Copies of this chain bind each other. A is one copy, B any other.
Amino acid sequence: MRGSSKFSKIPTATITRLSIYSRYLEALAQEGVKIIASDKLAQKCGINPAQIRKDLAYFGEFGIRGVGYFVKELLFEIKRILGLNKAWKMALVGVGNLGSALLAHQNFVRQGYEFAAVFDIDPNKVGRRLPNGLMIHHLEEMERVAPEKNVEIGVIATPAAHAQQVASRLIQAGVKAILNFAPIQLQVPEGLAVENVDFTVKLDNLAYHLTMGNT
């Protein structure tokens, strides 16, 4: 596709910010707001205005100088860029407390992500049907079930000690992207995408705020 070589150089940090912009633009669109000034968008997202303009410049011309961005147009473009104009199928591995919370998380479906298959190794869980209709498969069935359900993203919610083995199985089953909740650094082959969810990074922001507030 034309431009893909240019696109592939976009820094991860820009992609993360695009995602944050899209969350806020979605809220604005729901409130019926038509236009947003880039300074306002920047302020609401906690990002400086120059950075927003730089991020969006990767993809072409958006907005009108001195006026702002058209909310719906910008949202549509960002979603197209991020590949959110389709529903992504996910496999969850690990139906403990965290896994159960993720299955119940309403934001996933709202944002275009859907659990299509669920795995565990606990004999008390395997074979059980979840409230959403999915059956819990044994991890051993990964290679068969994941391709059958068109799984593209693996979500690891197992204890740290099992996470690497689970990642390898997901990769063997053809999964190219992993969202990892286990507090370990996964080893994956080149070309695989891994995102680690680390709640403590958010806590560090709060700690910083409290530290500065107390001086």
Contacts and interface: CB of A to CB of B under 8 A. Distances in A.
Interface string A107-147: 11001110000000000000000000000000000000000
Interface size class of A (residues with CB under 8 A): 35 or more
B213 A84 contact: no
Contacts of A198: 23, 107
B100 A207 contact: no
Interface of A: 1, 4, 7-8, 11-13, 15-16, 18-20, 22-23, 27, 46-48, 51, 81-84, 88, 90, 96-98, 100-102, 104-108, 111-113, 152-153, 160, 176-179, 183, 185, 191, 193, 195, 197-213, 215
A22 B204 contact: yes
A95 to B, nearest CB: 10
Contacts of A178: 206
Nearest to A185: B27
